[in-house]
Chain A
Amino acid sequence: MDETDKKILNLIQTGFPICEHPYAEIGSKTGVSEEEAFGRVKSMVESGIIRRLGASFDSRGLGWTSTLCAMSVPKDQIERVASIISEYPGVTHNYERNHKFNLWFTYIAPDEEAVLKTLREIEEKSGYGPVYNLPMLKKFKIKVNFQFKEKAGGEAGK
C-alpha cells in the first residue's frame, strides 16, 4: 500500500462518489487518472484490503431495531449455544469473550417484539439464560473509518 493507495482509501472510506464516473472523481482528488484510480481500487478489493464497497445501511434509519445481547454459558456448551444463535439471519456478530458473560451477539429485527421473541426462543432452545438485552440507549460515537497517516504534504490524515 503506497501513499496514493492511502489517499484513495481515506477518500473512499468516508464517501465513494455517487456519480457516472466515480473513478474519474477519485482520480482527480488523488492526482491520478480515472484508469489508474480504478485499477488501484480493483487491486485493493482483490487483495482483500477493501472488504466491501457500498452502502452501510442503518437499522434505525430503515426503521428496524438492533440490540447487543449477552449470555453466561458453561464453557463446554459454548459451541452448541453459539451455533443455535448464529443460525438467525438477524445475528450479525457472535463472539466468545473473556468474561463471566462469555457469549455476546448482536441482533437486528424489524421491531422490538421480534427481538424479544427471538431472545426467548434462544433461551428455550439452548436451555440457558437469561439472554440479557442491551439495546443502545444513547450514542456518543460511531466511527467506522480509520484515517491512514499520510506523509507530509498529504491533506488528509486527520
Chain B
Amino acid sequence: MKKEITATDVRIMAELQRSLPMTMRPFETIGAKLGLSEKEVIEKTRSYGEKKFYRRFGATLRHQKAGFKANGMGIWSVPDEAKRQELGEKLAARAEVSHAYERPSFDGWPYHLFTMIHGESEQEVLDTAKHMSEETGIEDYDVLFSVREFKKTSMQYFDHWPSVVD
C-alpha cells in the first residue's frame, strides 16, 4: 500500500504542496524553514518526481482568468467493451479534451467513457461534443455542466498522512 516515505519526506512534500515561497531561491527558503540544506531539498524534490509521487512540478493556473471559460463533462456510452480502447483514444485526441477516462457503468448509468471538454462557452463545448460524436459514431452521450461549485481544492495529503517512520 503506502510507499516508503519518511517523516522528513512528508515535511518536504507538505511544503512542495503549498505554493513555493516567492523568493529568488525557493528551495533554499524551504530548507531554511525545515532545517535542511538547499541541496538536500533539491535532490529530494527531484527524487519524488522520479518516483512518480507527483505528476508535474510547476504552475497551476486559474483557468477562468487565463481565458478558458467553460468546461463540461462528456459522458459516452460504449456498451461493446472491445471498442472502448479505440474510441477512448479517439475522444482523448481532441485538443479541447483535458482528461479522458474509462469508468464503470451500472444499471441506470450506461456510460463508460468520460471526457472533460473545454471551450470559450457552453455552446462551444456542446459543439465540440457533437463533433466528437460524429467522429466516433457514439450516439448515446451527454454533456454535464456544473451548476454550482460546493468545493474545489487540492488534496492535502501530508496533513492526513496515516503514519510515518524515519
Contacts and interface: CB of A to CB of B under 8 A. Distances in A.
A52 B65 CA distance: 14
Nearest to B113: A140
A132 B91 CA distance: 24
Given A49-B65, A58-B54, A63 B22 contact: no
B38 A52 contact: no
Given A68-B103, A96-B146, A13 B151 contact: no
Given A12-B59, A48-B65, A132-B109, A92 B151 contact: yes
Nearest to B58: A16
Chain B contact patch, size range: 35 or more
Nearest to A147: B95
Contacts of A49: 61-62, 65-66
Contact of A136 (B1, B48, B97, B103): B103
A14 B58 contact: yes
B155 A61 contact: no
Given A48-B62, A141-B100, A92 B154 contact: yes
Contact of B13 (A23, A47, A57, A59): A57
A118 to B, nearest CB: 13
B58 A140 contact: no
Contact of A20 (B2, B25, B56): B25
A42 B21 CA distance: 10
Chain A contact patch, size range: 35 or more
A31 to B, nearest CB: 19
B83 interface: no
A85 B56 contact: no
Contacts of A20: 25, 27-28, 38, 42
A62 B100 CA distance: 21
B56 A55 contact: yes
A70 to B, nearest CB: 7
Contacts of A42: 22
B102 A38 contact: no
A56 B56 contact: yes
Interface string B1-23: 11101000000010011111010
Given A56-B60, A97-B147, A137 B101 contact: yes
A54 B17 contact: yes
Contacts of B149: 94-95
Interface of B: 1-3, 5, 13, 16-20, 22, 24-28, 38, 42, 45-46, 48-49, 51-63, 65-66, 68, 73, 84-85, 88-89, 91-92, 97-104, 106, 109, 113-114, 118, 142, 144-157, 159-160, 162
Interface of A: 1, 9, 12-16, 18-23, 34, 38, 41-42, 44-45, 47-59, 61-64, 68, 70, 78, 82-83, 85-86, 89-99, 101-102, 104-105, 108, 110-111, 132-146, 148
